[in-house]
Structure 1
């Protein structure tokens, strides 16, 4: 995790009970999931056959090319199966179902021993589909249970070449890379060629997993008529409850439209105090003299957070 690089984990979930049921066929998998189904409904993406499972924005970013329906899990499994058998039916994609809420016995029966206890499973069920290229603000382990998945990855620093869409008008919470889902050589996205040249493409078979560090862009294609993926999100290096994304959003409203020279001055301060390319900013002082810039594992976290909260309240 520390190098912030993806890692392919072949066979990591091959011996799960759910994987063995999936290998026996969709009927066996559905029976297995139905046994532990808590009876809740989830929000499904439902797409007409014309979109071929490519859930995306509508024309000119107006709306979306799919509908959202609230479906019980059992009915969603039936509709996924029916659409797989009959291409004239709408495709169905039911994603990010917290297993603890929807399938309470799932985590205990299908454990991942090397993840922290806070990393809890989520299930993603559907027909063949393409999920738009996006990033997650958490570390991610994605495990393929049924069907095959193709991941196309771009490093975080490719962001400027991906032509990212709105941050507050999204399909599922995260902004997406518009260029990655466009037709090849789309003239609207001339810089995308540089990102495409750096792309990593990997195909996962049932039983395989992929570790994705936070902020890596990924387009995910489910390649079979019936698919199940299980993923886990967690923050491997959190010093407390506050998220880096919140800090970035606050920085945008406080810094983004200041004059260029002032932004450059603040960048120097951010580099010195936050990103620390030259090491700790108070390395020239003994540790017991660093005050609020002491170790975040000690009192420094609480002291800085209290200062931030007072500032936001106008105190």
Structure 2
């Protein structure tokens, strides 16, 4: 994998490290934090971490002993990519995806381990409960009353472009090492995002190569760097990434495993904001300027403004979706939208 210019990372601020005494202390930190933090050794006692410290072969054997015999989706990149899973010159993907059993995937990883010019092999966002049996019970973080999605990420040395996610994220390195470079959510203009529909993994990504930034093509990236924070995690360490923070992720060892937990503070029956953005691109963006100004004002009134200002003049029993949403009223909106979009 191509090496980054060390001066870029040396100049960045580091993510603050905190100490966590117990589950209650972690819960308190997660409830009150609005910025990333790093916990050294949070999951150091995991059996998977212990297996990985012995060897990457032991880590793979541990996972194979708990995987379900079903096909996994795996991404395989070009040997010339330097581990960067990204676009090709035609804005297609510079990797291909296929379905294979985990023993076959691990055999390819082992055969290529340590070999110069080997293609990157990457399993991303694999549901722990669906694809493994007993792995979660033996290796998990107690997150209290949250209902997180637990995913596992397994790969050779890789670089994943800066992107963000809607949920909060606790990322735990189980095997190998990872480097995260993070930016606050408002820095998106300075990260030069690619398409919102044609993406490597469903989220818009930064077009900047963090290992070799082209400041002529992406001049505002210089403005983003003073806001960046970097964290290098060893096996057993955990990083909290608040919702919508941008993060560039690198697997630094020949074999790397990360387990992460995503959770939202809002009910799961609420819609996805990305869907609203996509629909607005289709229905509002190309309107005449005077009409766009009207819709911007209307969104500010109904969506971003005070709910009291919108609904107080309407009898309470007649406010419909202007009242606080419930699973039932959200369901009515979803059904209405499906009918409209199908026409």
TM-score (norm 1): 0.86
> Shift in Å at residue 140 of structure 1?
2.2
- Distance across 1 between alignment mates of 2:111 and 2:49: 21
| Alpha carbons 2:302, 2:310 under 8 Å: kept | no
**1:260 aligns to what?**
289
Moved more, 41-50 or 256-265: 41-50
> Shift in Å at residue 204 of structure 1?
1.5
Asked if 1:142 corresponds to 2:171, the answer is: yes
> Relative to structure 1, is the Cα distance of residues 258 and 297 closer, same or farther in structure 2, using a 3 angstrom cutoff?
same
**1:159 aligns to what?**
188
Alignment of 1:294-309 (within 5 A): 294-297=323-326, 301=330, 304-305=333-334, 308=337
- Distance across 2 between alignment mates of 1:76 and 1:235: 32
**2:228 aligns to what?**
199
Moved more, 64-73 or 20-29: 64-73
Q: Which whole-Å deviations, capped at 9, do the CAs of 1:240-264 have from their partners, x for residues lacking one?
A: 2421211222222221112223222
Asked if 1:44 corresponds to 2:74, the answer is: yes
Q: Which whole-Å deviations, capped at 9, do the CAs of 1:68-101 have from their partners, x for residues lacking one?
A: 3433212222322332232243332222221222
| Alpha carbons 2:77, 2:121 under 8 Å: kept | yes
Q: Which whole-Å deviations, capped at 9, do the CAs of 1:177-198 have from their partners, x for residues lacking one?
A: 1025473244222222222232
> Shift in Å at residue 145 of structure 1?
0.5
Supply the RMSD in Å over aligned alpha carbons. 2.8
Moved over 6 A (4+): none
Asked if 1:59 corresponds to 2:89, the answer is: yes
Asked if 1:243 corresponds to 2:243, the answer is: no
> Relative to structure 1, is the Cα distance of residues 79 and 139 closer, same or farther in structure 2, using a 3 angstrom cutoff?
same
- Distance across 1 between alignment mates of 2:165 and 2:183: 12
| Alpha carbons 1:44, 1:94 under 8 Å: kept | yes
> Relative to structure 1, is the Cα distance of residues 54 and 285 closer, same or farther in structure 2, using a 3 angstrom cutoff?
same
> Relative to structure 1, is the Cα distance of residues 283 and 70 closer, same or farther in structure 2, using a 3 angstrom cutoff?
closer
| Alpha carbons 1:294, 1:300 under 8 Å: kept | no
- Distance across 2 between alignment mates of 1:298 and 1:227: 40
> Relative to structure 1, is the Cα distance of residues 260 and 155 closer, same or farther in structure 2, using a 3 angstrom cutoff?
farther
**2:250 aligns to what?**
221
Structure 1 stretches lacking a partner, 5+ long:
none
Aligned length: 312
> Relative to structure 1, is the Cα distance of residues 274 and 205 closer, same or farther in structure 2, using a 3 angstrom cutoff?
same
- Distance across 2 between alignment mates of 1:254 and 1:9: 44
Structure 2 stretches lacking a partner, 5+ long:
1-30
Alignment of 1:1-315 (within 5 A): 4-61=34-91, 63-114=92-143, 118-181=147-210, 183-238=212-267, 240-276=269-305, 280-282=308-310, 288=316, 291-292=319-320, 293-297=322-326, 301=330, 304-305=333-334, 308=337, 312=341
